[in-house]
Chains A and B, each alone.
Chain A
Amino acid sequence: MIEMIKFQYKFLFNRMTIIIVFIFNIILFIGLLYSSSIFEGYYYIDLYRESFAKAFNTEAFLLIKVASVMISVILTTMIYSDTNNNLSKYIIDKEERKFIVFFSRIYTLMFVMSIIIIVYFLDYLVITILLTPYIFDLVYISKITFWLIVQVYIYVALTGLLTTLVPNILISLIPIALFWFLEINAQEEVILQSNILKIMYEYIPNLVEIDSRLTVMGNLGKYLVFLIIVISGNCLYYVKKDII
């Protein structure tokens, strides 16, 4: 299993992927710099610290969330590509190995995405600490990081399932559309008025601002159950599916 994970890691981290991840990080960093308002001048933002900090946090977390979900969908589509599927032919010599191939993909993606999200939050912390007078709450940041990791795991699982069911690159637009649908409705009042949104938010985590704090509207148990169902469904389908 470890060797298989290393192989998936080597497959995923080719020059092109590294460039994509790097570009995402650069764009995010510039976005964070811009939303921190440091170009207004350090003393000026220090004067209205609270309101600037609130606006910065809202924009920064939105940027990190968008970048994380986008990159997770891109990497998942890559690792579930036809090329990777064809590599299974070299590895599978008994049906049980299909499970190893399947879980090595999921594990690699989850591990890589966790690292990427942590790096994104480090970008945020570096800018906050070094360039702005804003005070940050590390416990709060850690909680948001945790929920974002859970959210991205679910997008990885959903994208993986859809790509296995319909091996077409365009299918990855569905999770992106789902994310935007949840995002444009990410207001407590809007969610509570719609039964569909309530159910969706219960099983797919998305950070919503409630009482000036970002939080999720479901609980970890339900998210994990949903995650396990999606991964198990994908696994069963993959194992039964012909590799032609």
Chain B
Amino acid sequence: MDNYKNISITINEVTKEYNKGKGIKAVSTLFESGILNLVVGENGSGKSTLFKCIMGLVSYSGSINKRKIKMGYAPEEYVMPLRMSVVDFLYSIGRIKGLDRDLINNNLETYLRYFDLYPYKNKLIGSLSNGMRQKLNLMQAFVHEPKIIILDEPLAALDEDTIHKVIKIIKEKAKTKLVVVSTHQPNKFKCRNKRIYRFEKGNLIND
């Protein structure tokens, strides 16, 4: 297995302000592979904004240095194409991110079975429950085998069984990849190699 211990994201004085005064203020930190990076904080404290800055979804001041490698991102608000089938959606994301057809099909089967969505693979996304859509949201971040994985509130809307599965897979991925997770339940992630980043009102208060 490839080892990506040297992957990192360096954030220097990143500021993003929205009209309503929310956002992040002069955030500087470092996310590294090989450990589980947990970002915690209240709603509106700036966790999602930081992720959107890292993904290049929003403009910001300051700098973010990261290697140009595949990134998987599961946003908190997952608006999905309701009239597209589960398998079509995942396959398309995998192909857009540059993964080989056979590998995508293998990964699809693996993840669909792992998340108990295999029987629903040909169903339209619109017919899935909220929890199933969250699973799909997470699967699209894993399916193309990214080296950097950013998950925004991955435990939201999930039942206890699925939460255990999600935590297990996140911990597994964190051993070899750069994984950053925002959560309100950091205690559920029981592992030695984790680092907690706490946000408060747009500021990173400890690192």
**For the side of the interface on B, what is the size category?**
20 to 34
B residues within 8 A CB of A83? 79-82
B residues within 8 A CB of A91? 93, 96-97
Of the candidates A3, A10, A86, which one forms a contact with B77 in the assembled complex, judged by CB atoms under 8 Å apart?
A: A86
Of the candidates B56, B70, B79, B92, which one forms a contact with A7 in the assembled complex, judged by CB atoms under 8 Å apart?
A: B92
B residues within 8 A CB of A90? 73, 75, 93, 140
Q: Which residues 42-98 of A have a CB within 8 angstroms of B?
A: 82-84, 86-95, 97-98
Q: Is the CB of B84 within 8 A of A11?
A: yes
Give the size of the chain A interface in residues (CB under 8 angstroms): 28
A135 interface hit (Cβ, 8 Å): no
Number of residue pairs A-B, CB distance < 8 angstroms: 73
A220 interface hit (Cβ, 8 Å): no
B178 interface hit (Cβ, 8 Å): no
A residues within 8 A CB of B18? 244
Q: Is the CB of A89 within 8 A of B55?
A: yes
A191 interface hit (Cβ, 8 Å): no
B52 interface hit (Cβ, 8 Å): yes
B165 interface hit (Cβ, 8 Å): no
Q: Is the CB of A82 within 8 A of B79?
A: yes
A residues within 8 A CB of B83? 14-16
User: Min CB distance, A228 to chain B, in Å?
Assistant: 25
Known: A14-B84, A83-B81, A89-B75. A243 touches B96 (CB 8 A): no
Known: A3-B95, A242-B59. A10 touches B52 (CB 8 A): no
* 9 smallest beta-carbon distances between A and B, as pairs: A14-B83, A86-B79, A93-B71, A242-B58, A3-B95, A7-B92, A243-B57, A95-B56, A3-B96
Residues in A lying within 8 Å of B, measured CB to CB: 3-4, 6-7, 10-11, 14-16, 82-84, 86-95, 97-98, 240, 242-244
User: Min CB distance, B53 to chain A, in Å?
Assistant: 10
The 8 A CB mask of B90-104 against A (1 = contact, 0 = none) is: 001101110000000
B116 interface hit (Cβ, 8 Å): no
- Specify the chain B residue showing the minimal Cβ separation from A86: B79
User: Min CB distance, A9 to chain B, in Å?
Assistant: 10
Q: Is the CB of A93 within 8 A of B55?
A: yes
A residues within 8 A CB of B57? 88-89, 92, 242-244
Q: Is the CB of B79 within 8 A of A92?
A: no
Q: Is the CB of B58 within 8 A of A89?
A: no
CA distance A15 to B85 in the complex (A): 11
A residues within 8 A CB of B55? 89, 92-93
Known: A82-B79, A83-B82, A92-B56. 7 other contacts (CB 8 A): A7-B93, A7-B95, A10-B84, A86-B79, A90-B140, A95-B56, A242-B57
